[in-house]
Amino acid sequence: MKYDYLVVGAGLFGSVFAHEMARQGKNVLVIDRRNHIGGNIYTENRMGINVHIYGAHIFHTSDKKVWEYINRFTEFNQYINSPVAVYHDELYNLPFNMNTFSKMWNIRTPEEARDIIDKQAKAEVKRILKERAEKGDEEAAEFLEVAKASGQDIRDGFEAANLEEQGLSLAGRDVFEKLVKGYTEKQWGRDCKELPAFIIRRLPFRFVYDNNYFNDRYQGIPIGGYTAIIKKLLLIDANDNEKEQGISGSITVKTECNFADFIKMEDGVPAKPFESVSGDSFDKVLFTGMIDEFFNYKLGNLEYRSLRFETEDMPEVDNYQGNAVVNYTERDIPYTRIIEHKHFEFGSGKGTIITKEYPADWKMGDEPYYPMNDEKNNSLFEEYKKLADGYGDVLFGGRLGQYKYYNMDQVIAAALEMVDSVR
């Protein structure tokens, strides 16, 4: 069969793009190597609970256009993300707010919290500069003298050499040690002293008693789970009313279909004109997999962080932890958080399901979750992007295709922008 587009990847980006192309009268084939649609936002209903198979996904946005778009395919509940952090036997509210500071220091007012953070942060910067000066760093010694003579805030003009120095200069010792250091080291698989400072450009302190993690205007969990959204986008659950709204094209979906085995190849890349090994033909391709994989890693491989999930059904436990998301911030506990899925949709029935989330080093063949957007990898991506720009008739989208961290609303916005660009 002849198709206008082959969309590689049935995740959110590919599904939005395929849907909009079908609205324009295009015939689209969507393939995915997994045995299901939805990519990383795939949810599976078990025990009456929508389980986020690939980790917690909480939709939030301040983009009204995106919010109105996604609401065409689902209704959202009023879930507000308010995670709890566990450090040894201490529990703290996130994000860092007056509930956090009150528990940590037994205080009540924003002024008290600001004073403690400022005092600790200044002391840490002074300590760091003294250590540098003692090792012969003349610039650090001069910086200390100037700050002392002028009375200026010693943090002004301070440049952290690594993430640990950056975190201490922003938060002081208590917040950094208890709520940032261990969690960050688990997430990245390295000591904070080995990580670049730019990873933490700022820390979101809120001097109000508000546990809402996101600042966005719109927030919630789709009633019925995320997979239902993808089914509607891919017209799997399309009804006559949707057809009447002008969807004149078609979408065909194939799962357990690996792109490299599906498409005819030449010298390690898809041959032109684009054809499948079974004889289907495609005018254009949208590729949402790893851009370096598309080009058979000819310039080397980009790096990612991966995740591992341990999910446990607990039919005899009605409420395991009392919150949807609980972070574990000490380094010695190998997982970063435990998700209790029923709380995303205010479940009250018998039984519960939890998932422990473990950050993992990525190697070829593992699932890539987070691009390692450091200088080395970003430079390599730019070289791949040059190859992509010169290849023709192939679009690259999503986290992996564009080697960029996206929230779900950003994925939708980027997919719609791509749709506009190819009209």
Q: What CA–CA distance (Å, rounded) separates 10 from 38? A: 6
pLDDT at residue 240 tops 60: no
Confidence of residue 361 (pLDDT cuts 50, 70, 90): very high
pLDDT at residue 129 tops 80: yes
Q: What percent of the chain has pLDDT over 70?
A: 98
pLDDT at residue 400 tops 90: yes
pLDDT at residue 254 tops 80: yes
385-405: average pLDDT: 95
pLDDT at residue 241 tops 50: no
- The whole-number pLDDT of residue 237 equals 77
User: Which of 373 and 37 is assigned the larger pLDDT?
Assistant: 37
Share the mean pLDDT of the chain: 95
The answer to whether 305 and 370 are in contact (CB under 8 A) is yes
What is the distance, to the nearest Å, from the Cα of residue 82 to the centroid of all Cα atoms in its chain? 17
- The whole-number pLDDT of residue 238 equals 65
pTM exceeding the 0.85 threshold for the entire prediction:
yes
What confidence tens digit (pLDDT) does each residue in 275-322 have? 999 999 999 999 999 999 999 999 999 999 999 999 999 999 999 999
Tell me which H or E stretch contains 52: strand 49-52
pLDDT at residue 199 tops 50: yes
What confidence tens digit (pLDDT) does each residue in 21-51 have? 999 999 999 999 999 999 999 999 999 999 9
188-212: average pLDDT: 92
Sign of CA dihedral 76, 79, 83, 89: negative
pLDDT at residue 423 tops 80: no
Go through 130-161 and write b for each residue having 16 or more CB atoms within 10 A of its CB, e for each that does not: eebbeeeeeebeebbeebeeeeeebeeebebe
> Is the bond into 83 cis (omega within 30 degrees of 0)?
no
What confidence tens digit (pLDDT) does each residue in 45-90 have? 999 999 999 999 999 999 999 999 999 999 999 999 999 999 999 9
Go through 217-239 and write b for each residue having 16 or more CB atoms within 10 A of its CB, e for each that does not: ebbbbbebbbbbbbbbbbbeebe
**3-class secondary-structure state, position 318:** coil
